[in-house]
Amino acid sequence: MISDNLNIIIRELSSEENVPYNLLLLADPEKEMIDEYLESSRVYVAILNDTAIGAYVLYPLSNSSVEIKNIAVKEEHQNKGIGKILLSDAIREAKEKRFQSICIGTANSSIAQLYLYQKAGFEVTAIKRNFFIDNYALPIYENGIQAKHMIMLSKEI
Ligand code: ACO
Protein backbone atom coordinates (compact mmCIF):
# COMPACT_ATOMS: atom_id res chain seq x y z
CA MET A 1 0.00 0.00 0.00
CA ILE A 2 1.95 2.91 -1.38
CA SER A 3 -0.26 5.53 0.34
CA ASP A 4 0.47 4.00 3.77
CA ASN A 5 4.18 3.86 2.95
CA LEU A 6 4.13 7.62 2.27
CA ASN A 7 2.92 8.18 5.84
CA ILE A 8 5.76 6.18 7.40
CA ILE A 9 8.33 8.11 9.40
CA ILE A 10 11.71 6.49 10.05
CA ARG A 11 13.69 7.86 12.99
CA GLU A 12 16.33 6.84 15.49
CA LEU A 13 15.05 5.42 18.78
CA SER A 14 16.11 7.52 21.76
CA SER A 15 17.75 5.93 24.79
CA GLU A 16 14.63 6.66 26.91
CA GLU A 17 12.34 4.69 24.61
CA ASN A 18 11.60 0.98 24.92
CA VAL A 19 13.45 -1.29 22.51
CA PRO A 20 10.90 -2.83 20.08
CA TYR A 21 11.81 -6.44 20.89
CA ASN A 22 8.59 -7.67 19.24
CA LEU A 23 10.07 -6.48 15.93
CA LEU A 24 13.74 -7.36 16.51
CA LEU A 25 12.82 -10.92 17.54
CA LEU A 26 11.29 -11.45 14.07
CA ALA A 27 14.77 -11.24 12.58
CA ASP A 28 16.76 -12.79 15.43
CA PRO A 29 15.09 -15.40 17.64
CA GLU A 30 17.48 -15.05 20.60
CA LYS A 31 17.10 -12.05 22.90
CA GLU A 32 20.59 -12.57 24.41
CA MET A 33 22.15 -12.14 20.95
CA ILE A 34 20.07 -8.99 20.37
CA ASP A 35 21.03 -7.49 23.75
CA GLU A 36 24.72 -8.13 23.03
CA TYR A 37 24.77 -6.06 19.83
CA LEU A 38 22.32 -3.40 21.05
CA GLU A 39 24.91 -2.18 23.58
CA SER A 40 26.96 -0.60 20.77
CA SER A 41 24.27 -0.08 18.11
CA ARG A 42 21.80 2.53 16.97
CA VAL A 43 18.17 1.42 16.57
CA TYR A 44 15.86 2.99 13.96
CA VAL A 45 12.09 2.55 13.87
CA ALA A 46 9.47 2.98 11.16
CA ILE A 47 6.39 4.61 12.63
CA LEU A 48 2.93 4.43 11.08
CA ASN A 49 -0.01 6.00 12.97
CA ASP A 50 2.05 6.23 16.20
CA THR A 51 2.98 2.53 16.08
CA ALA A 52 6.39 1.03 15.34
CA ILE A 53 5.82 -1.31 12.39
CA GLY A 54 9.44 -1.80 11.36
CA ALA A 55 12.97 -1.45 12.67
CA TYR A 56 16.62 -1.78 11.75
CA VAL A 57 19.80 -1.79 13.81
CA LEU A 58 23.18 -0.34 12.75
CA TYR A 59 26.26 -1.78 14.48
CA PRO A 60 29.66 -0.19 13.69
CA LEU A 61 32.37 -2.74 12.86
CA SER A 62 35.09 -0.08 12.42
CA ASN A 63 35.36 3.61 11.49
CA SER A 64 34.65 2.74 7.87
CA SER A 65 32.26 -0.18 8.04
CA VAL A 66 28.84 -0.76 9.60
CA GLU A 67 26.61 -3.82 9.79
CA ILE A 68 22.81 -3.98 9.64
CA LYS A 69 22.39 -6.43 12.51
CA ASN A 70 18.62 -6.58 12.35
CA ILE A 71 15.91 -5.48 9.94
CA ALA A 72 12.28 -6.36 10.46
CA VAL A 73 8.74 -5.42 9.45
CA LYS A 74 5.67 -6.40 11.48
CA GLU A 75 4.02 -9.46 9.90
CA GLU A 76 0.81 -7.72 8.79
CA HIS A 77 2.84 -5.00 7.01
CA GLN A 78 5.27 -7.32 5.19
CA ASN A 79 5.36 -7.55 1.38
CA LYS A 80 4.21 -3.94 0.93
CA GLY A 81 7.63 -2.49 0.13
CA ILE A 82 8.51 -1.37 3.67
CA GLY A 83 11.53 -3.67 3.97
CA LYS A 84 12.93 -2.04 0.81
CA ILE A 85 12.32 1.42 2.27
CA LEU A 86 14.05 0.45 5.56
CA LEU A 87 17.02 -1.00 3.69
CA SER A 88 17.52 2.14 1.60
CA ASP A 89 17.15 4.29 4.73
CA ALA A 90 19.85 2.20 6.46
CA ILE A 91 22.17 2.79 3.48
CA ARG A 92 21.40 6.53 3.50
CA GLU A 93 21.99 6.75 7.27
CA ALA A 94 25.28 4.82 7.03
CA LYS A 95 26.47 7.19 4.27
CA GLU A 96 25.44 10.20 6.34
CA LYS A 97 27.46 8.81 9.28
CA ARG A 98 30.46 8.61 6.87
CA PHE A 99 30.81 4.84 6.71
CA GLN A 100 32.27 3.58 3.44
CA SER A 101 30.74 0.14 3.41
CA ILE A 102 27.67 -1.52 4.84
CA CYS A 103 27.14 -5.23 5.33
CA ILE A 104 24.35 -7.56 6.32
CA GLY A 105 24.22 -11.24 7.15
CA THR A 106 21.41 -13.70 6.62
CA ALA A 107 20.89 -17.45 6.61
CA ASN A 108 21.39 -19.71 3.61
CA SER A 109 17.65 -20.53 3.99
CA SER A 110 16.45 -16.87 3.92
CA ILE A 111 15.51 -16.77 0.24
CA ALA A 112 13.41 -13.56 0.32
CA GLN A 113 16.09 -11.73 2.31
CA LEU A 114 18.88 -12.82 -0.06
CA TYR A 115 16.71 -11.55 -2.92
CA LEU A 116 15.98 -8.21 -1.20
CA TYR A 117 19.62 -7.50 -0.28
CA GLN A 118 21.11 -8.45 -3.66
CA LYS A 119 18.47 -6.41 -5.48
CA ALA A 120 19.59 -3.43 -3.35
CA GLY A 121 23.19 -3.91 -4.56
CA PHE A 122 24.68 -6.03 -1.76
CA GLU A 123 27.10 -8.74 -2.94
CA VAL A 124 28.09 -11.95 -1.16
CA THR A 125 31.49 -11.43 0.45
CA ALA A 126 31.80 -14.26 2.98
CA ILE A 127 30.13 -17.32 4.46
CA LYS A 128 30.25 -18.03 8.19
CA ARG A 129 29.91 -21.79 8.03
CA ASN A 130 27.67 -23.50 10.62
CA PHE A 131 26.95 -20.14 12.30
CA PHE A 132 23.32 -21.03 13.08
CA ILE A 133 24.19 -24.53 14.30
CA ASP A 134 26.97 -23.27 16.57
CA ASN A 135 25.18 -20.19 17.99
CA TYR A 136 21.50 -21.11 18.36
CA ALA A 137 20.05 -23.61 20.83
CA LEU A 138 17.40 -25.00 18.46
CA PRO A 139 17.54 -25.91 14.76
CA ILE A 140 15.96 -23.22 12.52
CA TYR A 141 14.10 -24.10 9.29
CA GLU A 142 12.82 -21.68 6.63
CA ASN A 143 11.37 -22.51 3.23
CA GLY A 144 11.96 -26.19 4.08
CA ILE A 145 15.72 -25.56 4.30
CA GLN A 146 17.78 -25.73 7.52
CA ALA A 147 19.49 -22.45 8.43
CA LYS A 148 23.10 -23.56 8.81
CA HIS A 149 25.40 -20.91 7.38
CA MET A 150 25.42 -17.12 7.63
CA ILE A 151 25.82 -15.50 4.18
CA MET A 152 27.52 -12.09 4.55
CA LEU A 153 26.75 -9.47 1.89
CA SER A 154 28.35 -6.03 1.52
CA LYS A 155 27.91 -2.83 -0.42
CA GLU A 156 30.31 0.06 -0.94
CA ILE A 157 28.51 3.33 -0.25
N1 ACO B 1 10.80 -14.90 -2.28
C2 ACO B 1 11.33 -13.98 -3.13
N3 ACO B 1 11.09 -12.65 -3.04
C4 ACO B 1 10.27 -12.22 -2.07
C5 ACO B 1 9.66 -13.11 -1.14
C6 ACO B 1 9.95 -14.50 -1.29
N7 ACO B 1 9.44 -15.41 -0.45
N8 ACO B 1 8.91 -12.38 -0.28
C9 ACO B 1 9.06 -11.09 -0.64
N10 ACO B 1 9.85 -11.01 -1.73
C11 ACO B 1 10.26 -9.80 -2.46
C12 ACO B 1 9.14 -8.82 -2.71
O13 ACO B 1 8.35 -9.22 -3.83
C14 ACO B 1 9.93 -7.57 -3.02
O15 ACO B 1 10.47 -7.66 -4.32
P16 ACO B 1 10.31 -6.50 -5.43
O17 ACO B 1 11.13 -5.35 -4.90
O18 ACO B 1 10.88 -7.11 -6.65
O19 ACO B 1 8.85 -6.21 -5.49
C20 ACO B 1 11.15 -7.66 -2.08
O21 ACO B 1 11.18 -9.05 -1.66
C22 ACO B 1 11.08 -6.75 -0.87
O23 ACO B 1 9.82 -6.81 -0.30
P24 ACO B 1 9.34 -5.77 0.81
O25 ACO B 1 7.84 -5.77 0.78
O26 ACO B 1 10.04 -4.48 0.73
O27 ACO B 1 9.86 -6.51 2.13
P28 ACO B 1 9.15 -6.56 3.55
O29 ACO B 1 8.50 -5.27 3.88
O30 ACO B 1 8.33 -7.78 3.67
O31 ACO B 1 10.45 -6.68 4.48
C32 ACO B 1 11.78 -8.27 5.65
C33 ACO B 1 11.40 -7.71 4.28
C34 ACO B 1 12.40 -7.17 6.49
C35 ACO B 1 12.79 -9.39 5.43
C36 ACO B 1 10.47 -8.78 6.31
O37 ACO B 1 9.90 -9.80 5.52
C38 ACO B 1 10.68 -9.34 7.72
O39 ACO B 1 10.59 -8.60 8.69
N40 ACO B 1 10.91 -10.65 7.83
C41 ACO B 1 11.09 -11.28 9.17
C42 ACO B 1 12.38 -10.82 9.81
C43 ACO B 1 13.60 -11.11 8.95
O44 ACO B 1 13.76 -12.19 8.42
N45 ACO B 1 14.51 -10.12 8.87
C46 ACO B 1 15.77 -10.24 8.16
C47 ACO B 1 16.71 -11.17 8.90
S48 ACO B 1 18.43 -10.88 8.46
C49 ACO B 1 18.85 -9.52 9.38
O50 ACO B 1 18.08 -9.03 10.14
C51 ACO B 1 20.22 -8.97 9.23
118-133 pLDDT, tens digit per residue, is 999 999 999 999 999 9
User: Does residue 134 carry a pLDDT above 70?
Assistant: yes
Ligand 1 probe mutation, 34, 109, 116, most atoms within 8 A of CB: 116
Closest by alpha carbon to 68, among 85, 46, 43? 43
CA 85 to CA 20: how far, in whole Å? 18
For the stretch 69-107, pLDDT in tens is 999 999 999 999 999 999 999 999 999 999 999 999 999
Evaluate: CB of 72 within 6 angstroms of ligand 1: yes
> What is the model's pLDDT at position 108?
98
| Of 5-9, 112-116, 124-128, minimum mean pLDDT range | 5-9
Give the per-residue pLDDT at 29: 84
Res. 18: pLDDT tops 50: yes
Q: Which atom of ligand 1 is nearest to the CA of 26?
A: 42
Residues 97-124 as b or e (16 or more Cβ within 10 Å = b): eebebbbbbbbbbbeebbebbeebebee
Nearest CA to ligand 1 atom 7: 112
Give, for ligand 1, the residue of 26, 73, 114 to mutate: max count of ligand atoms closer than 8 Å to Cβ.
73
pLDDT tens sequence across 29-39:
889 989 999 99
Q: What is the pLDDT of residue 1?
A: 44
- Burial tier of 23 (Cβ tally within 10 Å: 0-12, 13-18, 19+): buried
